[in-house]
Amino acid sequence: MEQPILFDCEDGVAIITLNRPERRNAINQALLQGLYDAIDRVAGDNTIKVAIITGNGKSFCSGLDLACLATDNLIDPRGDGRDMVDVMGECEKPIIGAVNGYAITGGFELALNCDFLIASENASFADTHAKVGIQPGWGMTQFLQQAVGRRRAKQMSLTCEFISAGRALEWGLVNEVVAPDVLMERAKTIARQICAVNFDMALTVKRLIEHRDKAFFVDALTNERKGLKELARLTKS
């Protein structure tokens, strides 16, 4: 039986691949368990600096496997009380989403939990929670408006309309759009660039950027300036 998650590591870059191509990488309990284990492995391994999440086959992730809703524990798949937002949010290391094909509903939420996205030209995105009658729970209502703005988020979530990779780029949902055959190489190039910088400072900068999400602008700016003043004090001492 194929593993629902594949894990490889190349020069400090972890490649996490959703591996249910026959179901368009739809989410079941086993896939979530494997995904969370992989991200925790990234978080705890000092030799890994960056992770890339992608999908095997023609889809990134088509969302929840509706055939498993009645049988699988998708809320707490490992029995430790942690869900997607907890596991990915607690990983301090950068996570790049390499989106090939469909990223739909829960799969779209998985993409939104990444730090940023590189998409292939055949990628497309949709929030169909309102169509299937399932409430979002992995950050859709917050992360989507953060990425594209409140009005566009409302349009996407209320119409359940798919948007293309080109429109996702125009709206700021993805950072870059590339040809399908170079998607992973481009994601790896960016990951290697991150590995090459002062990594402790990179993590500090990442934390400072994310602090804005949890604080008002003035508080976030104060937090950033406080760190610089502390650095200046240490440098002089």
- Using one digit for the tens of pLDDT, what is the confidence trace for 106-125? 999 999 999 999 999 999 99
Q: How confident is the model at residue 218 (pLDDT cuts 50, 70, 90)?
A: confident
pLDDT beyond 90 at 236: no
H or E element in which residue 104 lies: strand 102-104
Beta bridge partners of 53: 16, 97
Model pLDDT, residue 2: 87
Q: What is the pTM of this model?
A: 0.92
Calculate the average pLDDT of the chain: 93
What is the edge-to-edge ordering of all strands in the sheet holding 5-10?
A: 5-10, 13-18, 50-55, 95-99, 116-120, 176-178
Residue among 113, 111, 131, 132 nearest 123 (CA): 111
Beta bridge partners of 118: 98, 176
Q: Cα 68–82–223 angle (5° rounding)?
A: 140
pLDDT beyond 70 at 149: yes
Q: Cα 30–26–32 angle (5° rounding)?
A: 30
**Integer Cα distance of 86 and 105 in angstroms:** 18
Residue among 55, 66, 57 nearest 22 (CA): 57
- In the structure encoding, which two tokens stand for residue 32, read together? 């979530």
The stretch 133-144 carries a mean pLDDT of 92
Model pLDDT, residue 235: 61
Model pLDDT, residue 217: 65
More confident call, 28 vs 212: 28
Model pLDDT, residue 223: 76
Model pLDDT, residue 222: 80
